[in-house]
């Protein structure tokens, strides 16, 4: 299949009661493993290039890598810029073939966030690309604290920007290494009541899997970003490979042995938020 936009995978998810995994990529091995995982589960997937990925590899290169995987996959693959911090960065991603861009203006005043996000959404839509925005700041484990999303501001933001998806702050935290966080479901329900825009949870690794599943199937949350738990699998697999053979030095030999564990973990992550197979069969 060819590359899909964010809207093209989130609208069916919203209609049919499931969510799509936004899997955070850092290199070829994990993005290939994530694509294989999606094909094995017969589910769409969102390959995400966040700030750490872009620091390591230029957008021009990432665009080609994502395109290679998406265009040869048997399931819809969204190629997504995660946490773009400027209009210029989003514009470059669009020019490099990304099918979706996320502009993060969450730490800016509301009026400025709306103005910038709306302008980027217009730019993206003109190019046939989707746009995700964020209202309410999602903090970092061991770093800056979160600022919860105000439902009234969320309604204004969604209406004024015309984004295809809206990331919200409802107790989620980036880089959390356990599943003990939990989300504020009362706040989620209040936000749902004032907007029809598909909702996104960043920092999905910190959310208990059972809560991810329940919200994917019974809320407007259509996208969970998952990165830390998959990177932890990568780290463990890498250490095990090196421990098993202290003399191994070839990069290809080493990294080829970590893809299977990542693929297995990615399959479990996207299956947990995917369609309820008991009701969809």
Active site residues: 82
Quote the crossing angle between the two packed helices 151-161 and 110-126, to the nearest 10°.
Answer: 30
Strand, helix or coil for residue 182 = coil
CA atoms within 13 A on the CB side of 6: 34
* Contact call for residues 47 and 31 (beta carbons, < 8 A): yes
Q: What residue has token string 């969450």?
A: 106
DSSP β-bridge partners for residue 20: 223
Q: What residue has token string 């969102």?
A: 46
Q: Torsion-angle region of residue 123: left (phi > 0), alpha (psi -120 to 50) or beta? A: alpha
Q: What residue has token string 């470059």?
A: 92
Say how far apart CA 129 and CA 271 lie, in whole Å. Answer: 26
């Amino acid at each position: 299949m060819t590359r899909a936009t964010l809207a093209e995978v989130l609208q069916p998810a919203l209609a049919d009661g499931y969510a799509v995994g936004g899997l955070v990529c850092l290199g070829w091995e994990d993005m290939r493993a994530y694509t294989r995982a999606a094909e094995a589960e017969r589910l769409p997937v969102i390959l995400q290039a966040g700030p750490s990925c872009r620091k390591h590899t230029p957008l021009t290169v990432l665009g080609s890598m994502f395109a290679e995987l998406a265009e040869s996959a048997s399931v819809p693959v969204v190629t997504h810029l995660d946490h773009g911090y400027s209009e210029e960065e989003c514009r470059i991603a669009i020019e490099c073939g990304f099918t979706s861009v996320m502009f993060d203006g969450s730490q800016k005043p509301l009026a400025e966030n709306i103005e910038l996000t709306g302008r980027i959404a217009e730019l993206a839509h003109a190019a046939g690309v989707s746009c995700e925005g964020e209202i309410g700041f999602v903090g970092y484990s061991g770093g800056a604290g979160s600022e919860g999303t105000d439902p009234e501001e969320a309604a204004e933001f969604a209406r004024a920007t015309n984004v295809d998806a809206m990331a919200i702050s409802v107790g989620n935290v980036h880089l959390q290494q356990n599943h003990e966080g939990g989300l504020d479901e009362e706040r989620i329900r209040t936000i749902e009541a004032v907007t029809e825009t598909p909702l996104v949870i960043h920092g999905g690794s910190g959310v208990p899997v059972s809560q991810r599943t329940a919200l994917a199937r019974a809320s407007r949350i259509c996208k969970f970003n998952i990165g830390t738990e998959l990177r932890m699998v990568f780290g463990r697999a890498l250490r095990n490979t090196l421990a098993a053979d202290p003399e191994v030095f070839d990069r290809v030999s080493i990294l080829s042995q970590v893809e299977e564990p990542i693929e297995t973990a990615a399959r479990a992550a996207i299956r947990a938020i995917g369609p309820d197979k008991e009701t969809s069969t």
